[in-house]
């Protein structure tokens, strides 16, 4: 059984689909869940605590010199979230994790990104896809490494792009698939059915 931390900054719809899957028993192998936000007013915080009864914390920058990620590590470890017993999901978390943080939780952090990586890394992936004029885009769940949206790919799903699409319509179509593959990826990771070989993830 693993502990799970979900890091959010905003509305938390991916977090919600994960919490729903855990609650319904679709994902097993998860013991304790903690949701952390770097923004006190993130709507996802209330969803986690009120709708799901999940423990939440807010981690803010520190004026006394401790770096943000150091504070985050303290909060995670206070809640028994360590490399050997846990998974960390980034779900709309709008901060870049430091290399030190990534090293401490090596291969235990996963992220969802609204494009078919390695295309359209970084911010506004849906807008980048529309500008590039691609006919197909999608979403990717990947392990987090030191780069931005560069880690080994766990799962991907294609989504068509239509001529009439706006950023909103395309984002909404991608989001439906994000919710599905994030749950699937977490299920695989929680059940130890993945092997990392030559920077590629293989299902076993
Ligand atoms: C999603 O599109 C995700 O791919 C990206 O940020 C957005 C977060 O949405 N990383 P939500 O907070 O999960 O609703």
Gap between the Cα atoms of 13 and 139, Å rounded:
15
- Choosing from 168, 175, 181 the residue with most ligand 1 atoms within 8 A of its CB, the one to mutate for a pocket test is 175
Give the tokens for residue 150: 């560069």
Give me the pLDDT at residue 112, please. Answer: 98
- Read off the DSSP letter of residue 171: H
pLDDT at 193: 86
Answer yes or no: is the C-beta of 11 below 6 A from any ligand 1 atom.
yes
Query: Tens-digit pLDDT profile for the chain (204 aa)?
Result: 999 999 999 999 999 999 999 999 999 899 999 999 999 999 999 999 999 999 999 999 876 667 899 999 999 999 999 999 999 999 999 999 999 999 999 999 999 999 999 999 999 999 999 999 999 999 999 999 999 999 999 999 999 999 999 999 999 999 999 999 999 999 999 998 899 999 999 998
What percent helix, strand, coil does the chain show, rounded to 5?
Answer: 35, 25, 40
Per-domain boundaries in the chain = 1-106, 111-204
Evaluate whether 1-106 and 111-204 have a shared fold: yes
The alpha-carbon radius of gyration of the chain (Å, integer) is 17
- Residue 80 is predicted with a pLDDT of 98
* Ligand 1 neighbourhood includes 92 CB (under 6 angstroms): yes
Of 39, 30, 29, 32, the closest CA to residue 7 belongs to: 39
User: Does any ligand 1 atom lie closer than 6 A to the CB of residue 138?
Assistant: no
Measured by CA distance, the residue closest to atom 12 of ligand 1 is 12
Best CATH choice for the domain 111-204 from the list 3.30.1280.10, 3.10.129.10, 3.40.50.170, 3.50.50.60:
3.40.50.170
Handedness of CA 195, 28, 31, 18 (dihedral sign): positive
Would you please indicate which residues are annotated as catalytic (active-site) residues? 113
DSSP, residue by residue, 89-156: EESS--SPPPHHHHHHTTT-EEEEESS-TTSS-SS-HHHHHHHHT-SEEEEEEEE--SSSS-SPEEEE
| Region 1-106: CATH code | 3.40.50.170
Give the pLDDT confidence score for residue 156 in this predicted structure: 98
């Amino acid at each position: 059984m693993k502990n799970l931390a979900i890091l959010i900054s905003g509305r938390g719809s991916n977090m919600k689909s994960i919490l729903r899957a855990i609650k319904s028993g679709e994902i097993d192998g998860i013991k304790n869940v903690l949701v952390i936000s770097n923004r006190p007013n993130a709507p996802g915080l209330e969803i986690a605590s009120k709708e799901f009864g999940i423990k939440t914390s807010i981690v803010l920058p520190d004026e006394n010199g401790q770096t943000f990620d150091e504070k985050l590590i303290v909060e995670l470890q206070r809640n028994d979230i360590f490399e050997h017993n846990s998974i960390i999901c980034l779900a709309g978390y709008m901060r870049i994790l430091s290399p030190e943080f990534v090293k401490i939780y090596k291969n235990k952090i996963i992220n969802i990104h609204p494009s078919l990586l390695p295309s359209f890394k970084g911010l506004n992936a849906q807008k980048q896809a529309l500008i590039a004029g691609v006919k197909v885009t999608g979403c990717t769940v990947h392990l987090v490494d030191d780069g931005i949206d560069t880690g080994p790919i766990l799962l991907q799903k294609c989504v068509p792009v239509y001529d009439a699409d706006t950023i909103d319509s395309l984002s909404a179509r991608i989001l439906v698939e994000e919710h599905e593959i994030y749950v699937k990826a977490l299920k695989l990771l929680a059940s130890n059915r993945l092997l990392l070989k030559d920077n590629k993830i293989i299902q076993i």
